[in-house]
Structure 1
Amino acid sequence: MVSHRSTKGASKARRDHINHEIRNMRALLPITQEDQERLSYLHSMAAICTYVRKSVLFQGLSAEERSHCSLPYEAFLQALHGFILITTAQGRLVYVSENVAEYLGLSMIDVLQGDTFYDMVESSDKAIVKSNLDIENNSSSERSFICCMQTSKAFKLQHGSCCSMMVTGSFQSFPQPLSTSSVCPTNQPLFVALCTPTVNRLQSSDSDFCHSFSSVHRLDMTYTHLSDSALYFLGYSAEEMTGRSWYSLVHTEDLSLSADSHRSLLQADDGFQVEIVLRLQCKDLSWTWIYIQANKDSECQGISCTNFIIRYDKLYFSSRPELTV
């Protein structure tokens, strides 16, 4: 019995010591006392690991490089239409700007508790993120993709369940310190990106700035009507699209999600709306990211869609201007 009590006491002493060290490290985090107190020990360690990771990866920057601008970075965040994200090629979070709360309803500390970029996105889009963080099979350092991100419950009630974000950035190398640890190698490029909300996050007052077209479909998603503006975004006239299946334009990687959303709409009552972000193929075989609001009308035995252009590389009446909404 003495041995049992001794072992139990030793285990408690070790736990107390570990928790004491975690509290000490948590106190060093550059966050408010209120944020510190609401962090569990597990979430504290996730946030601590992120800050340690950032310090190690950026320790090669000289003091002059770190302070070359006299303005505080908070001044720039207000001017950004989105939040800044930095990750390793493995998806480990290195930095998330504090204005992330404006776009996801989650504070910077809430996001850092997840530790990886993959924890920020919906499970259906993790494969998209993984393919874009793959630096071995993609020679270009530039990346641009759409993914749906996790939001707070309050944010979902206000903005809906679909939080699609355009992630645009590149892999960048940073100066290396004189000595590096093999445990945490710093010779890897970091993915630096700006995450901006897509058109479904715009306020109604901004609707005039949204590029969109409307379409009407049979219940099997065959086109029956298309607004004339579709010609400028897809390259197809309304006559060319009439009688054609919507699925024939959907990107193969988006077919499963499209079918699930279509099925949900067919099984729902009138007035139910489905939101989906996907790629449609243009007449010249390029791809256009589109955010779709689809509604079923049983009386007309059809489905009506409002198609917002999230990103396109060119308009069919002009010479390749790039635009990201």
Structure 2
Amino acid sequence: MTSTSEDRCLYCDPDGYQCNEPQTDSGLCYWHDPMIIKNNKDDVKNLEAHAKNGGMLRGISLKNADLSGIDLVNHHHKNGYDLSHADLYRANLSGAHLFSINFEHASLMKANLTNTNLHCANLKNCNLLGCIWNNTKIKKLNIGDKLVQEVQAKKAVKDFDLVLAHDLYEQSEEIYRDLRKHSEREGIFTLSGRFIQKELTMRRYQMPKPSIARLMSKIVDLFCGYGEEPLRVVKFSILLIFICALLYFFTGIRIDGEPFYFQSGDSLLVNLEHFLTCLYYSVVTFTTLGYGEITPIGISRAIAATEAFTGSFTIALFVVVFVKKMTR
């Protein structure tokens, strides 16, 4: 039964949602009172009933609660229960059924998620530091584009608090590493690929700025997404071939002793033919085929040497990245 405004729970979450449950001596209801540890034998059953009866779950305090085996699946409804802003620090959720649950802005810090069903759960901006992921079901898990620690770290950088930023990036790396290892154990390699990219990105942010190590890490990320995006290698190859073709077009190449390059006096069709010839030469140089019927002249020699070296490296990189992806 809904309480009157005088004796209802005083909890109001950051989004303006208010609880209508009866308040205790603390002014908060049983579920929102952080001083009450929910590990009584009837708490699991009572919380399930509270959820089924439409009770407010947003912001409830379940710190250190023993909720093993709890069923918080909103059966016969499209959306799961909403536990936004809930505090589940060190909660025991082993064997819990939490399909499609909403933990946005909640805290699962050091929560035990062993054998927990988190399929389709929303964990955007949720604190996942130190979670125990043993055999947790995480298909279609949504953790958002950034962890809450990432957002806080970027703010710390803007505030010139580099010590705090380093600590938060270290926490982010740990979370992504745990998620990556667990998704690999579960055989969800697409998800693990995303997590390893984020893990290595967080590690890069901890490196001194500027530094050679950080620069090299950024280059590897740009080239191939830390080995997870072979299409980046293909895109870079096409861009390099086109740029080099333009450079040959203006610096010149020689065919049968006759130079080919852009001349303003020539017609558009002739210049187009020259450019396509330069594009062909760029392709054979990048792939190190080197048929020999076309030779560079002047500064084009340096461009050709650079393109040939870069091309051989890039092709090898693509093979490594592609094989890595396919074997997973």
Shorter-chain TM-score above 0.5: no
- Between Structure 1 and Structure 2, the one with more strand by share is 1
* Superposition TM-score, scaled by structure 2 size: 0.27
When Rg is computed on C-alpha atoms for both structures, the one with the higher figure is: 2
What TM-score, normalized by structure 1, do the two folds share? 0.27
Tell which has more relative contact order, 1 or 2 (C-alpha 8 A, sep 6+).
1
